[in-house]
Amino acid sequence: MAALNENINRVISDFTAVKNAVESRGVTIEDNTPTSQYAQKILSIPDNTNTLRSLINGSLINLVIPENTVSVRDYFSFQNTALKTLQTVNIVSIGGRGFFGNTGLESVVLGNGLTSIGIAAFEGCTSMYSISLPGTLQVIEANAFKDCRSLQSVTIPSSVTSIGNAAFYNCSALKYVYIPSSVTSVGSNPFNLCSDVENLVIEQDFDVANFTIAGFGNLSVPTVVSVLNSLSNRVGKTNYTLYTGRYLSMLSEEQKAIATNKNWTLR
């Protein structure tokens, strides 16, 4: 295990070096094309690897992190602009900046078992258009998907309780966002500059202290009204704020009353 971790921790810049360095240590590498071509390279980390970190600047195209891998450690663990697909099985956590700046990453499937996505874990993955989040996820930390400008939709599982500051900041291609009522903590401006969002669905009894829809650029009035109807009833409790931005002027007094009657302040 120590030898395997030593090799994985090594900064590797060439696929052949990856093959030579780790294949003999139990890592299976499938090469679907001649080794002189880097078009279909797949690295599968073995099941007994507890922690992964620092496979940087490689030529890997597809990465499968299998069952019994506990976590991806913080800080640039897989900074690899060639990586296109990522799949995890039963991994518990992805650390801060785990896949930061993987500009070629297009599709991510995060399997059951994952409970947290760290700070800026996928920030700057500008080509990522698809992300599947598991029903075990609880925490999405700050900047987790910031500047993922190709991401088109996000369904947050009903297991999630916390979304950090700017978690989806500048995901400018987002069209659809679903937020469950399980979310009880939301940081500042988690969806700011998501200018193309047309469909925002929030489950009934959305009970966060403050929330903003001002960063959503293309919401219709009926969609905004549906958000107001989803707000938790705060009558007799601490006054909460919904930051509506330009949408406030689009609402009638009757529509505004949906929120104010629940003791929410609209700004």
Structure tokens at 253: 């007094």
Q: How far apart are CA 236 and CA 83, in angstroms?
A: 52
Q: What is the pLDDT of residues 22-56, one digit of tens each?
A: 444 444 444 443 333 333 344 555 555 555 544 54
pLDDT of residue 54: 45
Q: How far apart are CA 73 and CA 176, in angstroms?
A: 30
Report the top-level CATH class of 2-183: alpha beta
How many C-beta atoms lie closer than 10 Å to residue 40's C-beta?
12
pLDDT of residue 173: 96
pLDDT of residue 6: 40
pLDDT of residue 219: 93
To which residue do tokens 């070629």 refer?
Answer: 104
Please name the amino acid found at residue 125. C
- Cβ 211 vs Cβ 179: under 8 Å: no
Helices 2-9 + 15-22 axis angle, to 10: 170
Residue ranges of the chain whose pLDDT lies below 70: 1-61, 66-71, 73-81
Domain boundaries, the chain: 2-183, 198-267
Structure tokens at 214: 């001002």
pLDDT of residue 98: 84
**Half-sphere exposure for 187 (CA within 13 Å, toward CB):** 18
